Amino acid sequence: MRSYHIQDTRDFMKKLLVGEVFDTFLLSEASITTYASFHIDGTFHPEYLGSAEAELLTTEKCGYTLWKRVRPLFFELTRGKNTPLSLRIVFRLAPHNVESLIAQSGVSLRAEDVAGLFLNLRFDGSSLTCTSGVSLRIFSPDRSLEHAWDEMLARFFRREEIPFT
């Protein structure tokens, strides 16, 4: 687990809410406090959609919706001249990306051993912190997946020009 303090909150929020930088992440849950508090559970409910549309959403068959589907709603909640009082978002890496990370990093775990790779965003009204997290379905003293996930996130932030400490 690693914590990343985001140095340019305004630019980060623009990338999060307007840009497509985080669109491939799955939304586990989110909450925001503006004029009221809002909580969003990222659980995907395919029965809401028609069968043809639900079939197209193969990424979301893992049970969570993509951030890109919720981002416009979140943007609407933050519009206006006031900064949100707080914001918390829990992203998770899509299963096919977990498999890729395991294969690329040479980690000895199997993809089915991984319950989730998480990126937790927390804004307290003035500063923004991102924290990585790993959840396994098995016990393992090996922290190589955790280190690989932390390195992947650091590369992601550098590639997307998100300054952090």
Per-residue pLDDT of 64-101, as tens digits, reads 999 999 999 999 998 888 899 999 999 999 999 999 99
| CB contact set of 52 (below 8 Å; sequence gap of 6+) | none
Reported as a single tens digit per residue, the pLDDT across 107-163 is 989 999 999 999 999 999 999 999 999 999 999 898 999 999 999 999 999 999 999
**Other beta carbons within 10 Å of 64:** 23
Domain ranges of the chain: 3-159
Distance CA 18, CA 52 (A): 28
CB 102 within 8 A of CB 90: no
Residue given tokens 């503006």 in the structure block:
34
Q: pTM here?
A: 0.90
